[in-house]
Amino acid sequence: MAAARHKYPEDLSDRLKRYALRILKVAASLEGSPEAYIFRQLARSGTSAGAQFREARRARSVAEFISKMNSGLQELDETDWWLELLAESGLIKPSRLDELRAETNELIAIFVTCIKNAGNHGK
């Protein structure tokens, strides 16, 4: 699967890192509040997608790649849930989360496409 490493440019890794840093800033704004549970969950799920992608790039098989990417996809979906909850609760102004939620959905679309493409190559 080493050839797959060249299919996904470093900019996706960089994008996921920038995304994780943005998530941490939002999560940190909740630290010490009664909503600290959301802080922990958002920080965990929002940073995990990049780690899963890094592991996927080192996969030894298509099946392992797809598995890691699916894990990252689940984390992105969970992150969107927490962001949606924060927006609707009024804990953070929804407008402050708009760009981050849009980026979450773009990353979800990228992960879905990667998983589909890998599945087609594995057949």
Report DSSP letters for 10-64, one per residue: HHHHHHHHHHHHHHHHHHHTTTTSTTHHHHHHHHHHHHHHHHHHHHHHT-SSHHH
Q: Tell me the whole-structure pTM to 2 decimals.
A: 0.86
Return left, alpha or beta for 32; rule: phi > 0 is left, psi -120 to 50 is alpha, else beta: left
Domain 4-30+47-121 CATH (choose: 1.10.645.10, 1.20.1440.60, 3.30.1490.20, 1.10.510.10): 1.20.1440.60
pLDDT digits (tens, 9 = 90+) for 52-62: 999 999 999 99
Place of tokens 């890192």: 17
Phi, psi of 121 (to 5 degrees): -80, -20
Q: Which residue has the tokens 């992150």?
A: 79
Q: Given a cut of 90, is residue 119 above it in pLDDT?
A: no
**Where do the structural domains in the chain lie, given as residue ranges?**
4-30+47-121
Per-position b or e across 83-115, b if 16+ CB within 10 A of its CB: beebbeeeebeeeebeebbebbeebbebbeebb
Average confidence score pLDDT of the chain: 88
The pLDDT tens digits for 37-80 are 888 899 999 999 999 999 999 999 999 999 999 999 999 999 99
